[in-house]
Structure 1
Amino acid sequence: MKLSVITINYNNAEGLAKTMDSVFRQRFSDFEYIVIDGGSTDGSKDLIVNNQDKIAYWCSEKDSGIYNAMNKGIREASGEYLLFLNSGDFLHDFAVLEDIHPFLSGEDIVYGDLLFVHGDGKEDLFVYPDVLSFEYFLERSLGHPAAFIKRALFEGCLYTETLKIVSDWEFFVKKIVLESCSYRHVERVISIFNMQGISSVSLSLCEEEKKYILQGIFPPMILDSLQLAACLKKQPLFELFREMSKTHRFQKRVKPVLTFLLKLNNAFSMRK
């Protein structure tokens, strides 16, 4: 089996119906569908039962949070690649899996683009970059509804269940930045991501968790250096400076300036 699509849900029957409909209507059918429900009491379970003939595995039981539920799905999956499409999010159109299937051919992570839909109906298409750097992950992540991840990457490395919001971001940082896993961007909208329910409180907690993760991965001095380098790269004249610095003329002119600054620094150090 090449692909497993995993949906987690808790008391979101309306969103679950949309998600399931987008999966069941796919023209491509050679995949398994897994639904993990957290013991919903709003009719979600009835919806799952009524469609269980199209679901490879499902359960409806209490869990400890979103990442505990996602880990349950991972353990039950048999596909080479996994796509997490949680309730309320849905595939962009009926040809998504058919179009993406030929690209699931070797890279550890294959990702497309994501359409964000806000509570007021406004839509924002986010086209992910072809190159994913540490600087990129300082500000953003990959949207899991647009990312097809090799199941083998989760062996011994499931999502951290103590985190509330950014465990998938932590996973991508570890796999792409630290372990140099292979990846590929496909210029194709994969899913529609529902932004309803995203609050300033959630965004604040997101930043707190990211800071906690980075401090656990990198020693303070290295983390400071990486963040400073990322900041410098965003300055307006950085690209021009970098290109100029490659020329012999620039290097010849800047050398005496640097020598003068070093002498000046030494002079002040001696006075202290």
Structure 2
Amino acid sequence: MKLSIITINYNNGQGLEETIVSVINQTYRDFQYIVIDGNSTDGSRDVLEKYDKYIDKWISEPDSGIYNAMNKGAYFANGEYLLFLNSGDYLYNKNSLENLFKNNFHEDIVSCSLYTYSKKNICVQTPPRKISLYTFIDGSSLAHPSTLISKKIFLQVGGYNEDSKIVSDWIFFIEALIINNCSYISFPKIILSSFNCFGVSSTSTEQRLLEVQKYLGGKFPRIIEDYMSLKEEFISNSIYWIVSRSNFFKFLLIVPFKIINRVLRLRNYLGKRVGIYFIKS
């Protein structure tokens, strides 16, 4: 079997049903579907029973958190690849999987674009063409609802770190791609999934930043120190260059726009950052 789709849920029956419907309506059928519910009390179990014949494996029992539930789902997976599509998220359209699997790929990590939405914004997040530590250094990550993970690599890395409450998927991708140097391919022209930005990892910005800093400081202390020093040096040099010019106010107005343009062009050229393109804001 090529793919195992894993949905975790806790007290989000409406979102769970939307996710299930998007999965069972796919034109591509070579997948296993697993749902892990954390013993919900809102009627989610009724939703699971309603769609029981379409779900290969589902359980409803207490767990110790999001990543414990995701690891539990991976344990039951038989597919070559894992796709974590949690309740409230859904596959972009009925041809999403078929569009992806028309391509011949064997890489460990396969990342596509993600349609994201909230009360304020609608945007498309595109995966980087290349991967380096620079991709993740500021807390950016590949989007797990639109990224396939080889089960072999998932087990090799040890699954998701359950000590982290928010950024364990980010930690996993660093462990897999940077430390274990697993293979990677991206399909930015394929929008695989839609992501609801009201989830835990989307709203707890302060907690996310603390977890990112804690991990990077512990894993790459010397690299992070150098990175922060270079950032400060770049800012200082930029300010010095501007004020040392004649016709100061002219440069003060023009230079920031030039710098932004150069940075965006550089990032696009390097292809190592996650792209965000706003559709509505």
Q: Structure 1-normalised TM-score?
A: 0.81
Describe the shift of the 1:152–1:200 C-alpha distance in structure 2 as closer, same or farther (beyond 3 A): closer
Describe the shift of the 1:77–1:104 C-alpha distance in structure 2 as closer, same or farther (beyond 3 A): farther
Partner of 2:21: 21
Instruction: Give 1:189 shift.
Output: 0.5
Partner of 2:58: 58
Describe the shift of the 1:26–1:106 C-alpha distance in structure 2 as closer, same or farther (beyond 3 A): same
The answer to whether the Cα contact below 8 Å between 1:135 and 1:230 also exists between their aligned partners in 2 is no
Instruction: Give 1:223 shift.
Output: 2.4
Partner of 1:43: 43
Partner of 1:129: 128
Partner of 1:177: 178
Aligned-pair RMSD on alpha carbons? Answer: 2.5
Tell whether 2:222 aligns with 1:221: yes
Partner of 1:255: none
- Any unmatched runs of 5+ in structure 2? 239-258, 264-281
Instruction: Give 1:233 shift.
Output: 8.2
- Structure 1: distance between partners of 2:84 and 2:141: 15
- Larger C-alpha radius of gyration, 1 or 2? 1
Q: Helix, strand or coil: the match of 2:102?
A: helix
The answer to whether the Cα contact below 8 Å between 1:81 and 1:104 also exists between their aligned partners in 2 is no
Describe the shift of the 1:89–1:233 C-alpha distance in structure 2 as closer, same or farther (beyond 3 A): farther
Partner of 1:98: 98
Higher deviation after alignment, 150-159 or 73-82: 150-159
Partner of 2:270: none
- Structure 2: distance between partners of 1:232 and 1:35: 49
Q: Which aligned pairs between 1:1-272 and structure 2 lie closer than 5 A?
A: 1-103=1-103, 105-120=105-120, 122-139=121-138, 140-156=140-156, 157-186=158-187, 187-197=189-199, 202-218=204-220, 220-229=221-230, 236=259
Q: Which whole-Å deviations, capped at 9, do the CAs of 1:175-226 have from their partners, x for residues lacking one?
A: 11222211111121111100124588610000100111112212x3232124
% identical aligned pairs: 43
RCO (CA 8 Å, sep 6+): is it higher in 1 or 2? 2
- Structure 1: distance between partners of 2:45 and 2:63: 15
- Structure 1: distance between partners of 2:194 and 2:65: 22
Instruction: Give 1:15 shift.
Output: 0.4
- Any unmatched runs of 5+ in structure 1? 241-272
Describe the shift of the 1:94–1:201 C-alpha distance in structure 2 as closer, same or farther (beyond 3 A): closer
Describe the shift of the 1:200–1:116 C-alpha distance in structure 2 as closer, same or farther (beyond 3 A): closer
Partner of 2:247: none
The answer to whether the Cα contact below 8 Å between 2:108 and 2:183 also exists between their aligned partners in 1 is yes
Instruction: Give 1:146 shift.
Output: 0.6
Q: Helix, strand or coil: the match of 2:20?
A: helix
- Structure 1: distance between partners of 2:109 and 2:59: 27
Describe the shift of the 1:69–1:230 C-alpha distance in structure 2 as closer, same or farther (beyond 3 A): farther
Instruction: Give 1:30 shift.
Output: 1.1
Instruction: Give 1:103 shift.
Output: 3.4
